[in-house]
Structure 1
């Protein structure tokens, strides 16, 4: 009996190992990797050391064995309210409403870090993660808190451009890109990320890669790719072989800053110095841990970062859709609002699907407390 069980266990383990290896080596999910020739193309990038991209300041990411044990203990035996008790209800937006706006600058938040910016008659989509699980396979990640999106991909108007901050699965989603591609005009991405898109069948002519502080013009709006303090990679190996960062969109009327992911660093103050007042800053706030403070902001740092960037209004993002850390799901927004009040800093926390007009920021309505 024991021998049969042992044989069955080994057979199952072998099957899983072979299946996992096949998926890892054959799936398009993992994108492309840099060749030696492609690495040579990045020798002019200040953050490239010949093998990988580096942050502006030293960023240690290794965790000790005791750190890992503590995290497992928290995950298995001391879970907090890491997910809402019921599915989050989103506000619905129809295609006609979006098409009707040709003059105002407004933001439509899809949850986490995905948002549609309408400005100067353009539709601009940032970090589109519009499917159910931010992972290479549904079994490897948690589900989205809401059962639906504010507007389906099929109902979206034409998207003039997609902007990507970095290549992690919760920001660059293969299925979303595939479903969106027929309505997307152009892709603006960090150095190296264009190779993933090419691997997925997108023509090089539709992709623009940028280094930190490089700019691109689209219509009347200038976009600048800004530094962040983070890391990159879609594979078990080859980390930091694509760049990461945030985006500033600026015209002669307003400036909007999206930080992307990353820990606290000197780049926030530099953004403020370069661009003057930021009308709206969408700042990372969520999926943090004290042990990850080098690569993810804590909520109080969200407010500090926004203030150093000279933001008139701060909007916390990177929360509200997925559980990627062990804090309570609403801890980011509660702590960020408390800190903003303490610092006399204006903050907004729109409901998923709520349209935010940049010149008329909405009052906080505490919608998450219903869950």
Structure 2
């Protein structure tokens, strides 16, 4: 009788989880049959999943590794988030596209507002409280406010997404942004999430690796990254992930998205480098999942591989998604950049960086 009750309970729990993941909008939507037919033509799609060309280990590849990770997360690290909320620099809405200069404004983590050649792009605009399908239970953002609230933003020409993880693609942010955005340019399969959230199909362009799109005078190229995707237990690697190459009349920018270190960086550098500025992931790492999130020293090497001039470290200073001290990513990048002669910008959240400028923010503000 006890075994029967346990079995019934497990069935009920599984059914409840399936219902929630199917009908709760934050989980997004799987591609339709017609959409899957298009996706399946990708050279990066094998046996119903997207893959990186080289073997890539996930964090849960062994029971021992999974247990040690769980134990460390339960134990916690009191230095994994700042002792006091971070206070971003204010971004005046009227200053956006005020000049024709290429300007980068970091919103924390990987969210970046990019102004180039009179065009405004928002890269991975995760502007929500927590990187979770249930924001009220997830780890809160380090700052209580944004450089500028979504309601105050002017029209955004395009949103570029690197993949569909919650710390990059946020349901609440997209719902608030969608009517301000002219186009959503995303990796294969990600458009299904956006359509469920009310973005019209006409405003979505899905890209495979190395696909190029001309938009508002810019050339946008989806490039490889070594990562994975998914928003639930049932959709691992059903959508593509990517980095982005953004080319204007005189400026080239590389946005790494999320990635472990791999040969794709050198390939990107050979095909499209040099870059005036790179936006490179440097945080939420651990040696146990280094294949999907670079260590900071690898971040600097990746910048060198793509032949970057100026680097801004991203994917830190907003959320705790690993066990390291919250300042470790930028401090390790700072040291590695100095050792390799890499020019580094370390802006506060909301502090603008101008590509090609002789002076860029470089103070260790986190200390």
What displacement does 1:99 show?
4.2
Secondary structure, aligned partner of 2:121: strand
Asked if 2 retains the 8 angstrom alpha-carbon contact of 1:319 and 1:332, the reply is: yes
Q: Which residue does 1:7 correspond to in 2?
A: none
Q: Which residue does 1:26 correspond to in 2?
A: 23
Select which of 290, 294, 297 maps to 1:293: 290
Select which of 358, 363, 366 maps to 1:365: 363
1:10-21 to structure 2, matched below 5 A, reads none
Select which of 74, 84, 87 maps to 2:72: 74
Q: Which residue does 2:111 correspond to in 1?
A: 114
Give the Cα separation in 2 of the matches to 1:210 and 1:123. Answer: 19
Q: Which residue does 1:104 correspond to in 2?
A: 101
Give the Cα separation in 2 of the matches to 1:30 and 1:74. Answer: 27
What displacement does 1:94 show?
1.1
Asked if 1 retains the 8 angstrom alpha-carbon contact of 2:261 and 2:298, the reply is: yes
What displacement does 1:72 show?
3.1
Give the Cα separation in 2 of the matches to 1:17 and 1:193. Answer: 25
User: 1:294-329, CA deviations, whole angstroms, 9 ceiling, x for partnerless residues?
Assistant: 100000000000000000011110001000111111
Give the Cα separation in 2 of the matches to 1:54 and 1:17. Answer: 28
Give the Cα separation in 2 of the matches to 1:323 and 1:273. Answer: 34
Q: Which residue does 2:3 correspond to in 1?
A: none
Residues 1:240 and 2:210 aligned together: no
Asked if 2 retains the 8 angstrom alpha-carbon contact of 1:39 and 1:50, the reply is: no
Secondary structure, aligned partner of 2:275: coil
Asked if 2 retains the 8 angstrom alpha-carbon contact of 1:99 and 1:157, the reply is: no
Give the Cα separation in 2 of the matches to 1:284 and 1:254. Answer: 20
What displacement does 1:78 show?
5.8
What displacement does 1:187 show?
0.6
* Unaligned residue ranges in structure 1 (runs of 5+): 1-12
RMSD: 2.0
For normalisation by structure 1, the TM-score amounts to 0.92
What displacement does 1:203 show?
1.2
What displacement does 1:74 show?
2.4
1:1-371 to structure 2, matched below 5 A, reads 22-61=19-58, 62-77=60-75, 79-101=77-99, 103-360=100-357, 361-369=359-367
Asked if 1 retains the 8 angstrom alpha-carbon contact of 2:265 and 2:302, the reply is: yes
Secondary structure, aligned partner of 2:238: coil
Give the Cα separation in 1 of the matches to 2:111 and 2:309. Answer: 21
Secondary structure, aligned partner of 1:175: helix
Aligned residues: 357
For the structure 1 residues 77 and 204, does the alpha-carbon distance in structure 2 shift closer, same or farther, using more than 3 Å as the test? closer
Give the Cα separation in 1 of the matches to 2:102 and 2:335. Answer: 28
Q: Bigger CA drift: 139-148 or 108-117?
A: 139-148
Give the Cα separation in 2 of the matches to 1:313 and 1:255. Answer: 11
Asked if 1 retains the 8 angstrom alpha-carbon contact of 2:353 and 2:361, the reply is: no
Give the Cα separation in 2 of the matches to 1:68 and 1:202. Answer: 37
Secondary structure, aligned partner of 1:32: coil
Give the Cα separation in 2 of the matches to 1:49 and 1:264. Answer: 22
User: 1:57-80, CA deviations, whole angstroms, 9 ceiling, x for partnerless residues?
Assistant: 111214322222322332333625
User: 1:32-91, CA deviations, whole angstroms, 9 ceiling, x for partnerless residues?
Assistant: 113443322123311011401110211121432222232233233362510000000110
For normalisation by structure 2, the TM-score amounts to 0.93
For the structure 1 residues 16 and 89, does the alpha-carbon distance in structure 2 shift closer, same or farther, using more than 3 Å as the test? farther
* Unaligned residue ranges in structure 2 (runs of 5+): 1-9
Q: Bigger CA drift: 246-255 or 256-265?
A: 246-255
Secondary structure, aligned partner of 1:281: strand
Asked if 2 retains the 8 angstrom alpha-carbon contact of 1:145 and 1:321, the reply is: yes
Asked if 1 retains the 8 angstrom alpha-carbon contact of 2:104 and 2:114, the reply is: yes
Q: Which residue does 1:10 correspond to in 2?
A: none
User: 1:77-135, CA deviations, whole angstroms, 9 ceiling, x for partnerless residues?
Assistant: 3625100000001100111111422x100001100000100011111101011110011
